[in-house]
Each structure stands twice: as C-alpha cells, then as structure tokens.
Amino acid sequence: MFGSLLTFALAHLAIIMLRIRKPELPRPFKLPGKIKIAGKEIPIISLLGLISTFSIWVVVIILEPFSRWAGIIWMSLGLMLYFIYKGVRRRKKEEEQFGVYKHKE
C-alpha cells in the first residue's frame, strides 16, 4: 500500500503540474470538470485524487507501523540502487564519449 498510494498521488500531481506548466499541449482526452486557480485550469478529478490518495497514504503511515517501516526501507533500497545504477551508467557514458579508459599498471 505504501508504494501504490504514493505512486497514485504522484500521478495525480503530475497531471496537475502538466496542466499548469504546459497548458498548450494537446490533450486527446479530458474529463469534464475543472476549476481555475491563479488563472490555470486544474482538473477536479486529479485534485480530488491527489488529496484523497495522499491522505490515505498519511493515515497508513501513521496507523500501520509495519507498512510504514517496510515501505520506507523498500523505498530507500530502491533509491540507493537507482543512484548506484545511474552513477555506473554515467561513468560508462563518459568513458565512451571522452575516450577515458582506465589502464592496468
């Protein structure tokens, strides 16, 4: 529940941020119902989805100690692996791009 609720909340936030930052992008599908905040059209469904999924996530974090710690550990491990992988790929790309090779002595 930790990861799925957080992912759904972030997906709703991404929709809202796209509508704010890039309102000119073509949208093949739009749900009816939007509100204007600071001159920007925000979809009500995304706003309600963000509020509800984030609220449920906070409740789970507060009330479920096992889910809280398992989720935090799982997320931390995932982030560490991501940054290690990203660093390795960056170094390989730099070696290929600039011809920097480590030679054996």
**Which tens digits make up the pLDDT trace of 75-91?**
899 999 999 999 988 88
Question: In which domain, by residue range, is 58 found?
Answer: 2-98
76 within some domain: yes
Q: Where are the alpha helices (DSSP H) in 40-105?
A: 44-63, 65-98
Please tell me the total count of domains within the chain: 1
Residue 1: per-residue pLDDT: 75
Please count the CA atoms within 13 angstroms of the CA of 35 that sit on its side-chain side: 6
Residue 46: per-residue pLDDT: 93
Residue 56: pLDDT band (50, 70, 90) is: very high
Residue 48: per-residue pLDDT: 95
Residue 29: per-residue pLDDT: 81
Give, in order, the Cα–Cα distances in Å from 98 to each of 43, 63, 93: 47, 52, 8
Give the separation between CA 46 and CA 9, rounded to whole angstroms. Answer: 9
DSSP state of 32: S
Residue 79: per-residue pLDDT: 93
Q: What is the mean pLDDT of the chain?
A: 87
Residue 12: pLDDT band (50, 70, 90) is: very high
104 within some domain: no
77 within some domain: yes
DSSP state of 46: H
For a pLDDT cut of 70, what percent of the chain falls above it?
Answer: 93
Give the separation between CA 43 and CA 47, rounded to whole angstroms. Answer: 6
Q: In degrees, to the nearest 5, what angle opens at C-alpha 57 toward C-alphas 52 and 58?
A: 100
